[in-house]
Amino acid sequence: MIDSISIAGKKIGPTSSCYVIAEVSANHKQDINIAKETVRAAAEAGADAVKFQTYTPDTLTFNSDSEIFRIDHGTAWDGRTLYSIYSEGYMPWEWHAELFELANSLGLAAFSSPFDSTAVDYLADLDVPAFKIASFEIVDIPLIQHVARQGKPVLISTGIARKEDIEAAVAACREVGNSEIIVLKCTSAYPAPANELNLLTIPAITETFGVIAGYSDHTMTPTAAIAAVTLGARVIERHITLDRLTGGLDAGFSTTAAEFKELVQQIRETEEALGVVTFQLSAVSENSRRFSRSLFVTMDVKAGDLVTGDNLRSIRPNNGLHPKLLPNLIGRTFSCDVTAGTPMSADFVS
């Protein structure tokens, strides 16, 4: 396993901050101005990268009205043919260079999901810093190997993948000399219900396949993404839209710009909270420690008085002897007069 991967100069790995990708998908509505505004929104929201999809209807499917080419499994697109959906959703290829340049000028990495070899070659000519394999393409080993041969990091979603599919995809990359692999846990439901996410798989991805693990999120709240970060996801991908009601083809399960910004903030706060493995106290906790318990003389006593549980107690703050010494002091004799409220000292007993 490679310990870390770099995309456009930003490190992704166990010790780096989570890499957040804003997926534009089909939410551009085939209007380049909407696409540009979405890129700007992603930058404003704090994303590390913006991702597109590079295909045409003809590179993804076949133009047919046959039932086998129609969606019919409980989605927002039921009844429509694949060709009609992709005709509405695809982004004109001539936009890519301009959108990539805009993203880069705003500090964002920009890359895409290719869906056939011509798209791979087109993106390679644009010198993208990484490639993303969509979950439905994980079974297309020739496509994956063509991507991997470009020598750039490969992100692979697992939405419809069985274990053997992931194994084959990862092996395909390695067979052509590319080990810069990030596998994203994903549930291919739009939106995805919480009880189908199985986020505990995230650390198992790293352990099983020896890759960096991440999470491609299709839920509607920050909860799953935050949980994924706590489980070790080093990449979070989320769809972004300017307007969920009037946005593009995927807007209904996408995150608005304001929501995306809040998600990024919560991810960063979660990373700060996770911190590192340590038993050392923070400066704040060390300062608070002075208000922990210790032994105090709680009644006025005279020299010769016995130490009892009434005149010597464990209370806050911690200016006196350690509370663990109390059993050893009970029954001994005070060697001097002590005023109530005085921190206990070993010098007070004989």
Residue 236 burial (10 A CB sphere; 0-12, 13-18, 19+): buried
Give 290-312 pLDDT, tens digit per residue. 999 999 999 999 999 999 999 99
CB 312 within 8 A of CB 298: yes
Residue tagged 């007070």 (tokens): 348
What's the rounded mean pLDDT across residues 183-189? 95
Give 60-108 pLDDT, tens digit per residue. 999 998 889 998 866 676 778 999 989 989 999 999 999 999 999 999 9
**Is the pLDDT reported for residue 270 higher than 70?**
yes
Position 83 scores a pLDDT of: 93
What's the rounded mean pLDDT across residues 323-333? 97
Give 2-49 pLDDT, tens digit per residue. 789 999 999 999 999 999 999 999 999 999 999 999 999 999 999 999
Give 191-226 pLDDT, tens digit per residue. 999 999 999 999 999 999 999 999 999 999 999 999
Position 73 scores a pLDDT of: 67
The radius of gyration of the chain from alpha carbons, rounded to an integer in Å, stands at 30
Position 186 scores a pLDDT of: 97
CB 172 within 8 A of CB 145: yes
**Is the pLDDT reported for residue 281 higher than 80?**
yes
Position 222 scores a pLDDT of: 96
For the residues of 72-113, what is the DSSP string, one character each?
Answer: -SSSTTTTSBHHHHHHHHPPPGGGHHHHHHHHHHTT-EEEEE
Whole-angstrom Cα distance, residue 200 to residue 215?
11
All structural domains of the chain:
5-55+90-274 (3.20.20.70), 283-348 (3.90.1210.10)
What's the rounded mean pLDDT across residues 231-251? 91
Report how far Cα 245 is from the mean position of its chain's Cα atoms.
Answer: 26
CA dihedral 79, 82, 83, 87 (to 10 degrees): 90
> 251 vs 180, which has greater pLDDT?
180
What's the rounded mean pLDDT across residues 122-141? 97
Among 216, 136, 214, 196, which Cα is nearest to 169's?
A: 136
In order of 172, 227, 268, the CA distances from 276 in angstroms are: 35, 17, 14
Percent of the chain exceeding pLDDT 70 equals 99
**Is the pLDDT reported for residue 322 higher than 70?**
yes
Q: Which long-range contacts (CB under 8 A, 24 or more apart) does 80-88 make?
A: 83/57, 85/249, 86/55, 86/56, 86/57, 86/60, 86/61, 87/57, 88/26, 88/30, 88/249
Per-residue pLDDT band for 247 (boundaries 50, 70, 90) equals confident
Q: Which long-range contacts (CB under 8 A, 24 or more apart) does 119-124 make?
A: 119/54, 119/55, 119/59, 120/146, 120/147, 120/150, 122/54, 122/93, 122/96, 123/54, 123/96, 124/150
Per-residue pLDDT band for 187 (boundaries 50, 70, 90) equals very high
What's the rounded mean pLDDT across residues 266-281? 94
Position 252 scores a pLDDT of: 87
Position 267 scores a pLDDT of: 98
Q: What predicted TM-score, i.e. pTM, was given to this entire model?
A: 0.89
What's the rounded mean pLDDT across residues 188-192? 91
Position 74 scores a pLDDT of: 66
Number of neighbours of residue 35 by Cβ within 10 angstroms: 24
Whole-angstrom Cα distance, residue 262 to residue 268?
10
What's the rounded mean pLDDT across residues 145-165? 97
Whole-angstrom Cα distance, residue 158 to residue 166?
7
